[in-house]
Amino acid sequence: MKKKIPLWLKIIIGMILGVVWGLIAVNLGLEKFTSDWIKPWGTIFIKLLKLIAVPLIFISLVKGVTSITDVSKLTRIGIKTLTLYMVSTIISVAFGLFLVNTLKPGDTFPEQKRKEFQMMYEQNIKEKEQMANDVKDRSPLYIIEDIVPDNIFKAASDNTKMLQVIFFSILFAVAMLLLDSQKVLSVKNLFDSLNEIIIKIVDIIMKFAPIGVFALLAALISDFSADAGLFWALGKYAMLVSFGLIGLLFVLYPPMILLFTKVKLKTVFRALLPTQMVAFSTSSSNASLPVNMRQCNKELGVSESVANFVLPIGATVNMNGTSFYQAISAVFIAQVFGLELTLMQQLTIVLTATLAAIGTPGVPGGGIIMMVIVLGAAGIPAEGLALILGIDRPLDMIRTAVNVSGDAIVAVVIAHSENELDYSVQKDYSS
Ligand code: ASP
């Protein structure tokens, strides 16, 4: 009998072939061919994932919340979820600050290069600053204010407004819970069926994932090969963020798994691979949500009600990779500008990077826009963004992979604590 190749392996093969093709394209001058004939398949893959994101969040949250049935359990899970998200974000920021203050990647950055970068990205920064200013000029409570939509259709049509969709979904579901169950039975049944349909759609889309990531990586390498030099110029910083993010993956999550669950680390990391690969290729937590929900449920045994509740919220609220990156980047910029940060300024970074990560939309480059707020609060010049803008994409890819991993780990921990983790579906990879 033919042995089936598992999805994660197919995705890795797709990624490797994508990188190989990208390098061939750069060397043989096939950039135009790649962008005309290969890139569109990657774009289609991202579009499919985004297409499903809003209905998925709505349907799965309604299904998740209503299947918890008892409001006090819902409140308990809600509090646990937000607490774990907050604590893991603060640990990530602290870890970032520790690394950047110890290794000081910005201290040796040449003055000449700094000026060059500033000139190169002047326009780009103005745009980012403008976007962040729109947010900054509002009241300090803007994050809370922004959660409540005034028009659900407007919110649903904007991928950066997922928190608003989440708010509406939870409100809708809580109302259903508070009503007599007979009265809402038909709607509940409808959502059960819709949930099945959505899960099937995700399965169909995932069949396309290996081709999608192949195309995305091939196009990325052929489009950005000219910028490769930047990565080297910013070597120390880029290495610190990249390896630091990978370190975070191994410093933060294994203790959570080992302390709070009985799942084998190998099982978790293997199940997470497809989600991480999709996150890495799309740089978007929102786009990776469908895969994350599927993997957590099917391979880790997180119950539907927990996965449906914890993961959609995590995709927007919980960004460990982003907050880690924001802390390192803010201090790196300060170091390049020769600014000594006081303890107060460092604490401000902890606070604002935590809030900024919560407010960061799960879309490519979301984190760098919110950086302006961290820099502003800590009194670091926003022009410093010029230094890191050019290499944002590769770093975004890695931090997004960490972001989605954090969501999954919290889902596993909460499912275990609520007796909603089905260990029997987990594969044992130890042999
Ligand atoms: N791209 C990241 C995400 O979607 C956000 C960021 O830019 O840090 O998770």
Using one digit for the tens of pLDDT, what is the confidence trace for 143-157? 678 889 999 999 888
The rounded mean pLDDT for the chain is: 86
Ligand 1 centroid – CA 317 distance (Å): 11
In contact, 345 and 378? CB cutoff 8 Å: yes
Ligand 1 pocket: which of 49, 291, 319 to mutate (most atoms within 8 A of CB): 319
Is residue 350 situated within a structural domain?
Answer: yes
Tally the domains of the chain: 1
Spacing, Cα 341 to ligand 1 middle (Å): 26
239 falls within a domain: yes
Q: What is the DSSP letter of 340?
A: P
Q: What is the pLDDT of residue 83?
A: 95
Query: Which of 18-27, 132-141, 404-413 comes out lowest in average pLDDT?
Result: 132-141
- Asked if 60 contacts 308 with a C-beta cutoff of 8 angstroms, the reply is yes
Contact 397, 283 (CB under 8 A): yes
Residue 390 clears pLDDT 90, i.e. is over it: no
User: Would you place residue 358 in the very low, low, confident or very high pLDDT band (cuts 50, 70, 90)?
Assistant: confident
Residue 2 placed within a domain: no
pTM: 0.83
> Quick one: pLDDT band at residue 3, thresholds 50, 70, 90?
low
Q: Please, which pLDDT band fits residue 232 given cuts at 50, 70 and 90?
A: low
- For residue 421, tell me if it sits in a domain: yes
Single out the residue of 49, 6, 4, 12 nearest to residue 292, CA to CA: 49
DSSP-derived letter for residue 138 is S
Give pLDDT, residue 229: 60
Between the CA of 191 and the centroid of ligand 1 the distance, in Å, is 30
CATH number, domain with residue 33: 1.10.3860
Distance CA 274, CA 374 (A): 32
**Atom 6 in ligand 1: which residue has the minimum CA distance?**
367
Q: Ligand 1 test: best mutation among 160, 163, 281, 283, most atoms within 8 Å of CB?
A: 283
Could you identify the atom of ligand 1 that is nearest to the CA of residue 326? 8
The per-residue DSSP string of 90-131 comes to HHHHHHHHHHHHHH-TTTT--HHHHHHHHHHTHHHHHHHHHH
What DSSP string describes 407-429? HHHHHHHHHHHTT-B-GGG----
Ligand 1 probe mutation, 396, 404, 405, 407, most atoms within 8 A of CB: 396
Determine the pLDDT at residue 246: 95
Whether the per-residue pLDDT at 211 is higher than 80: the answer is yes
Ligand 1 centre distance from Cα of residue 405 (Å): 13
pLDDT value of residue 50: 80
The residue whose CA has the least distance to atom 8 of ligand 1 is 367
Whether 430 is covered by a domain: the verdict is no
Per residue in 251-277, pLDDT (tens digit) is 999 999 999 999 999 999 999 999 999
- 102 — pLDDT class (breaks 50, 70, 90): very high
Of 350, 362, 349, nearest to 406 (Cα)? 362
Question: Rounded CA gap, 189 and 418, in Å?
Answer: 24
Query: Residue 20 falls within a domain, yes or no?
Result: yes
pLDDT band at 121 (very low <50, low <70, confident <90, very high): low
How sure is the predictor about 124, in pLDDT bands with cuts at 50, 70 and 90? low
State in Å: Cα 197 to ligand 1 middle.
28
Mean pLDDT is lowest, of 52-56, 114-118, 408-412, for 114-118
Of 108-112, 165-169, 310-314, 387-391, the poorest mean pLDDT is in 108-112
Measured from CB, residues less than 6 Å from any atom of ligand 1 are 283-285, 319, 322, 360, 362-367, 396, 399-400, 403
- The answer to whether residues 21 and 218 touch, using CB atoms and an 8 Å cutoff, is yes
What are the structure tokens assigned to 143, written together?
Answer: 């994050």
Task: Work out which ligand 1 atom sits closest to the CA atom of 369.
Answer: 7
When pLDDT is averaged across residues 201-217 and rounded to a whole number, the result is 87
Joined tokens for residue 134 = 């729109």
Alpha carbon of 313 to ligand 1 centroid (Å): 14
Look at residue 431 and tell me if it is in a domain: no
Per DSSP, the three-state class of 276 is: helix
Distance 253 CA to ligand 1 centre (A): 19
- The residue whose CA has the least distance to atom 1 of ligand 1 is 364
pLDDT beyond 70 at 359: yes
Q: Could you tell me if 62 and 194 are in contact, meaning their C-beta atoms sit under 8 angstroms apart? A: no
Contact present, 397 and 280 (Cβ < 8 Å): yes
CA distances from 9 to 4, 223, 295 (A): 10, 26, 14
Q: Is the pLDDT of residue 69 over 80?
A: no
User: Which pLDDT tens digit goes with each residue over 274-328?
Assistant: 999 999 999 999 899 999 999 999 999 999 989 999 999 999 889 999 999 999 9
Distance, CA of 117 to CA of 169 (rounded, Å):
44
Range scoring the smallest mean pLDDT among 210-224, 279-293, 377-391: 377-391
Q: How far is the CA of 358 from the centre of ligand 1 (A)?
A: 11
What is the rounded average pLDDT of the residues 399-408? 97
Give the whole-number percent of the chain exceeding pLDDT 90: 45
Tokens of 117: 């970068």
How many angstroms does the Cα of residue 369 sit away from the middle of ligand 1?
10
Q: Which residue has the higher pLDDT, 142 or 356?
A: 356
> CA 239, 240, 246, 247 torsion: positive or negative?
positive
In a domain, 1, yes or no: no
pLDDT of residue 34: 92
- Report pLDDT for 70: 80
* Closest ligand 1 atom to Cα of 325: 8
Residue 345's CB: how many other CB atoms inside 10 A? Answer: 17
Check residue 268 and give its pLDDT.
Answer: 94
Atom of ligand 1 nearest to the CA of 368: 7
Average pLDDT, integer, range 86-103: 94
3-state secondary structure of 5: coil
* 3: alpha, beta or left? (left if phi > 0; alpha if psi -120 to 50): beta
207 or 84, which is more confident? 84
What residue numbers bound the domain in which 347 lies? 7-425
